Amino acid sequence: MLNNTDLEVKLKIMYIYTIIVPIIFGLGIIILPDAMISLFGWPEQDPIVFGVTGSVYVAFALLAILGLRDPLKFMPILLLQLFYKVIWFIGVFIPLLVIGEFPMYGLLHVIIFATFIIGDILTLPFSDLLNKKSE
């Protein structure tokens, strides 16, 4: 069991990672979508769906800033991030991989999502989150 100071430091590291990576990709998608598509070899994207993706990434980055101020209070941000990335692995990546249709341009997503999943699993205090508090 970590003390609160150690836990807060670990959470802050995850929040910083959640600020840096999504803000780069999110703003890139919103401001320079064609450059992002070209840079990473992605296929042409529907601008609405691509824009939603970029907006969600930026929203995570902005909310993670709040987590720097109060790491324990804003853990749901990291939980949501963990769950949607795990769902993406289970619902998108694995099925495409199994049928042999996962595109190589998606490999960057796999790597980045995996680093977030591992980081969130190592950081979040699941035993504390799952314990019912009596008031």
**SS3 of 77, please?**
helix
7-34 mean pLDDT: 96
Q: Where are the domains of the chain?
A: 4-125
Tokens 């019912």 locate to 132
Residue 125's pLDDT band, with cuts at 50, 70 and 90, is very high
| Alpha carbon of residue 53 to chain centroid | 11
Q: At what angle do helices 75-88 and 4-31 cross, to 10 degrees?
A: 60
- Residue 18's pLDDT is what? 97
- Residue 2's pLDDT is what? 59
- Residue 134's pLDDT is what? 53
Stated pTM of the model: 0.89
The answer for residues whose C-beta is within 8 angstroms of residue 72's C-beta and 6 or more apart is 4, 7, 8, 11
32-46 mean pLDDT: 93
Residue 5's pLDDT band, with cuts at 50, 70 and 90, is confident
Q: What token pair was written down for 116?
A: 């977030």
- Residue 131's pLDDT is what? 77
Rounded CA-CA distance 120/14 in Å is 7
- Residue 32's pLDDT is what? 95
22-43 mean pLDDT: 94
Q: What burial class does residue 45 get, using C-beta atoms within 10 Å of its C-beta: 0-12 exposed, 13-18 middle, 19+ buried?
A: middle
Rounded CA-CA distance 113/17 in Å is 12
